[in-house]
Amino acid sequence: MSAADDLIFGIHAVQAALDAGEVAMLWVMAGREDERLRPILQSARQQRLSIESRSREQMDRQLGGARHQGVMARLKPIRPWQLEDLLEHLDTQPAPPFVLILDGLQDPHNVGACLRTAEAAGVHGVILPKDRACPINATVRKVASGAASRLPIAQVTNLARSMEQLQARGLWLIGLAGEGPASLYEQDLRGPLGIVMGAEGEGLRRLTREHCDALARIPMQGGCGSLNVSVAAGVALFEAVRQRQAPA
């Protein structure tokens, strides 16, 4: 989306952003106030948001011809957490700390999908590098369906050092890698835990890999040698959920 990094569009995406309290301003195509848009307009009015009308041509031009369904919104900025604040947040959790670490993912759709899955799995926070990684932009937030605002997300300058700080707090860091010596399902994921995911194609960077306490693989069958990173994150996170919810 070239027009702006804080604009989202489409009925489902805008409604999800409204539900999450992420919207700062709303635009509706002139003459488009039908049944499908009524809940969006009602939510915006309840939140006392500014609602402006624009022609189809104006919206098409601003969004580069994207299929906007007659509605778009400007998102409120997200203020990332400081790592120190996230560490304090982990200390307040009644359950063992549970975090997701994303090492240099580039595709905003993958980042957004990982955030959405992380929230669904009950992750207490997400850590990702500031540099050489996809920022938390409008596409990420659209795919995340509000999770980007609700989850504690720390963007750090030095990922390896941040992993060391997590380990000092007692977290066991497991990196997902196809060449991992053990199956993910052989790992004990019930204690303080960080799941570490590498970038698309490249996988875990060398320094990140070296800072993991263990490397594990997802057993694969058939001719497919790997999974999309967001799918792999879902498998790993919900295996941890399964183990954590199993009777002692």
Domain map of the chain by residue range? 7-75, 83-245
Q: Which residues contact 95 (CB under 8 A, 6 or more apart)?
A: 122, 124, 244
Expressed in percent and rounded to 5, the helix, strand and coil fractions of the chain are: 40, 20, 40
Per the document, the length of the chain is 248
**Domain 83-245 bears CATH identifier 3.40.50.620:** no
CB 23 within 8 A of CB 73: yes
Residue 165: per-residue pLDDT:
97
Please report which residue ranges of the chain form alpha helices under DSSP H.
11-19, 38-46, 56-62, 83-91, 108-120, 138-144, 147-150, 159-168, 206-210, 229-245
Which residue has 């957004």 as its token pair?
A: 112
Residue 129: per-residue pLDDT:
95
Please tell me the pTM assigned to this model: 0.88
Sign of dihedral through CA atoms 117, 85, 77, 41? Answer: positive
Q: Which residues of the chain have pLDDT under 70?
A: 1-5, 223, 225, 248
Q: Which residues contact 173 (CB under 8 A, 6 or more apart)?
A: 101, 163, 166, 167, 193, 194, 196, 211, 212, 213, 214
- Strand (E) or helix (H) holding 172: strand 172-176
CB 26 within 8 A of CB 14: yes
Residue 61: per-residue pLDDT:
87
Pairing of β 23-29 and β 50-54: parallel
Q: How far apart are CA 199 and CA 182, in angstroms?
A: 20
CB 71 within 8 A of CB 29: yes
Could you tell me which CATH number the domain at 7-75 has? Answer: 3.30.1330.30
- CA angle centred on 127, ends 125 and 131, rounded to 5°: 155
Residue 202: per-residue pLDDT:
84
Of 232, 202, 208, the closest CA to residue 128 belongs to 208
Q: How far apart are CA 18 and CA 24, in angstroms?
A: 9
The answer to whether 7-75 and 83-245 have equal CATH topology is: no
Amino acid at 224: C
Of 159, 218, 219, 167, the closest CA to residue 193 belongs to 167
Residue 25 burial by CB count (10 A; 0-12/13-18/19+): exposed, middle or buried? middle
